[in-house]
Chains A and B, each alone.
Chain A
């Protein structure tokens, strides 16, 4: 059973555009939702994360929107740049020290 569902599988965006990646979960015990960025051959790097007590968190060009009632959260990348081209994974966890359940990943390509 897939704990976290992620879409789309791949995304192509023009430079300067907005990239949007969506995730959905079922387990209401999840209370931490991070997004990771991964470049080829590298480990996942923490990008931004949110707890369910807020509906939005913004860090620079990256924003997480969180809808607790719908059990969905999304990553918005504003003013997308070619350097943002990478694979993005959402994840969810029920708490400190617990495993992360990862989504299937989204391959983002930003065209100059």
Chain B
């Protein structure tokens, strides 16, 4: 069964450093998303991406964040200068987006980001 994959599973970085989190969405999906989950809290939306551009973003997704689809398979989230409060689990998700019925979003296993 196709699945969303993410690398690395755990990333430790120092405050102020740049990090890139990588995702490979399900191959025939057209919509891509990043969410984050601070330990013990709910899942929060960061950004959605469609047709090579951001379609929606939350207040959390400020100028320190950027997303890119550098090739036909990868989808990346870059945090330019990490802060302690960026420590969280980051989930990539994708959805088919072809038909009006294709609402389902499938989540990857996540990348645990620890900022020290």
A54 within 8 A of B: no
* A97, chain B: closest CB distance, angstroms: 5
| With A42-B110, A43-B110, A89-B42 as contacts: A99 and B48 at CB distance below 8 Å | yes
Docked complex Cα distance between A44 and B3 (Å): 12
Q: How many A-B residue pairs have CB under 8 A?
A: 65
**Interface residues as binary, B32-65 with A (CB distance below 8 Å gives 1, 0 otherwise):** 0101000001111100101000011010000000
Contact B42 A46 (CB under 8 A): no
Say whether, besides A43-B110, A46-B105, A101-B45, A96 and B56 are in contact (CB < 8 Å): no
Q: Which has the most chain B C-beta neighbours within 10 Å: A44, A46, A102?
A: A44
Q: Are B91 and A98 in contact (CB under 8 A)?
A: no
Q: Using a CB-CB cutoff of 8 Å, which residues 18-54 of chain A contact chain B?
A: 32, 34, 36, 41-46, 49
Please classify how large the interface on chain A is, using the bins under 10, 10 to 19, 20 to 34, 35 or more: 20 to 34
Q: Provided the pairs A95-B103, A96-B97 are in contact, do residues A102 and B56 lie with their beta carbons within 8 angstroms?
A: no
Whether, in the assembled complex, B31 has its beta carbon less than 8 Å from a beta carbon of chain A, the answer is yes
The reply to whether A46 and B104 form a contact with Cβ atoms under 8 Å apart is yes
Contact of B105 among A89, A100, A104, A105 (CB under 8 A): A100
With A44-B91, A98-B48 known as contacts, the answer to whether A32 contacts B103 (CB < 8 A) is yes
Interface set, chain B 3-54, CB cutoff 8 A to A: 4, 31, 33, 35, 41-45, 48, 50
B93 to chain A, nearest CB (A): 8
| 26 pairs from A and B in contact (CB 8 Å cutoff) | A34-B105, A36-B43, A41-B110, A42-B109, A42-B110, A43-B4, A44-B91, A44-B107, A49-B103, A95-B103, A96-B95, A96-B100, A96-B101, A96-B103, A97-B31, A97-B50, A97-B55, A97-B56, A97-B95, A99-B45, A99-B48, A99-B56, A99-B58, A102-B44, A103-B42, A104-B42
Q: Which 8 A-B pairs have the closest CB atoms?
A: A99-B45, A43-B107, A32-B103, A102-B43, A97-B31, A104-B42, A43-B109, A102-B42
By a beta-carbon cutoff of 8 Å, the part of chain B in contact with chain A is: 4, 31, 33, 35, 41-45, 48, 50, 55-56, 58, 91, 95, 97, 99-110
Interface residues of A (CB under 8 A from B): 32, 34, 36, 41-46, 49, 89, 91, 93, 95-105
